[in-house]
């Protein structure tokens, strides 16, 4: 009896958690099927005349597919770049002995301490001067930088957990440091790379301010900026915004379902067991 009760309360807790996290999102989903007139009045909660108009106009009014593609490209390239740079750096931080290690760590971490909005103006000047304005690179490079602290932190702590003797064995077996990183650390750190990758990917997917300032045409704009383009001067297009939000979330939700197991193992210590 007691067991059943505790089980029931456990499932109740889970249900509360799920409601807390997905109820607001569910509201977006419901709204995305409401026609314009019903959007701003509750009750009723559910659409009386459900419609796909919002979804249609998301694609008809703006090249939303292009925004999705841009976001996907920017996020993917950033993630790859960030992982490459991060893995190199994390290897040095985890395994090499040099006196300026804490200095390097501190300067990496300090990226997360300076208000990002204050970097927009100087970055803009640099991006202009280097001629990458309104290209994917204008977003990729800043994104990769701002994602570095977390990447380096996770990868470094994961690399530190890889037994040092493996590296010593490989050194004796005749591998160079770089080959050790490529042939031993990277394959073993697969889960950590997946986790960090997801985190970086989501951060890029969500970013707005840089995307607004460093791109100027539909060829390079990402989804968050794209969604704000539906707004009128006075008008908030809730229908389109909610439909677009649902569309943006679907690929990421799929990604999550696919990766959630790996995300956790990536952060877990002792993942390298012989």
CB atoms within 10 A of CB 85: 16
In the region spanning residues 117 to 156, those forming contacts with other proteins, defined by CB under 8 A, are 117-126, 128, 130-133, 135, 137, 141-142, 144-146, 148-150, 152-153
Q: Name the residue nearer to other proteins (CB basis): 72 or 126.
A: 126
Among 170, 193, 200, 243, binds other proteins (CB under 8 A): 170
| 68 near other proteins, rule: CB under 8 A | no
| 273 near other proteins, rule: CB under 8 A | yes
* Residue of 98, 101, 121, 118 whose CA lies nearest to 109: 101
* Residue of 173, 144, 195, 164 whose CA lies nearest to 91: 164
- 3-state DSSP: the chain helix, strand, coil percent, rounded to 5? 75, 0, 25
| 200 near other proteins, rule: CB under 8 A | no
Backbone CA torsion sign across 147, 150, 155, 160: positive
In the region spanning residues 22 to 61, those forming contacts with other proteins, defined by CB under 8 A, are 22, 24-25, 27-28, 40-43, 45, 61
Among 8, 9, 10, 65, binds other proteins (CB under 8 A): 10
Q: Name the residue nearer to other proteins (CB basis): 11 or 50.
A: 11
CB of 55 to other proteins, least distance (A): 16
Q: Report the alpha-carbon distance of residue 146 to residue 129 in Å, rounded.
A: 21
| 238 near other proteins, rule: CB under 8 A | yes
| 169 near other proteins, rule: CB under 8 A | yes
Backbone CA torsion sign across 188, 103, 197, 178: negative
């Amino acid at each position: 009896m007691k067991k059943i009760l505790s089980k029931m309360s456990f499932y109740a807790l889970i249900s509360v958690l799920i409601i807390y996290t997905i109820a607001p999102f569910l509201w977006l989903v419901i709204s995305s099927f409401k026609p314009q007139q019903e959007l701003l009045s509750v009750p009723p909660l559910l659409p009386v005349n459900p419609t796909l108009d919002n979804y249609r106009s998301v694609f008809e009014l703006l090249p939303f597919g292009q925004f999705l593609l841009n976001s996907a490209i920017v996020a993917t390239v950033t993630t790859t770049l960030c992982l490459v740079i991060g893995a190199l750096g994390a290897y040095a931080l985890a395994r090499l002995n040099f006196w300026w290690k804490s200095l390097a760590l501190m300067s990496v971490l300090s990226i997360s301490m300076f208000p990002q909005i204050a970097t927009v103006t100087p970055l803009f000047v640099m991006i202009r001067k280097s001629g990458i304005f309104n290209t994917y690179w204008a977003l990729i490079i800043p994104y990769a930088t701002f994602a570095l602290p977390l990447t380096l932190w996770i990868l470094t702590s994961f690399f530190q957990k890889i037994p040092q003797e493996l590296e010593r064995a490989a050194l004796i077996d005749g591998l160079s440091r770089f080959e050790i990183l490529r042939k031993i650390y990277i394959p073993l750190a697969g889960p950590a790379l997946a986790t960090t990758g997801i985190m970086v990917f989501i951060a890029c997917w969500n970013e707005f301010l840089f995307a607004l300032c460093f791109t100027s045409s539909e060829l390079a704009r990402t989804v968050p900026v794209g969604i704000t383009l539906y707004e009128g001067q006075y008008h908030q297009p809730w229908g389109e915004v909610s439909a677009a939000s649902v569309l943006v979330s679907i690929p990421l939700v799929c990604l999550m379902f696919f990766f959630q197991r790996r995300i956790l193992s990536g952060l877990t210590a002792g993942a390298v067991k012989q």
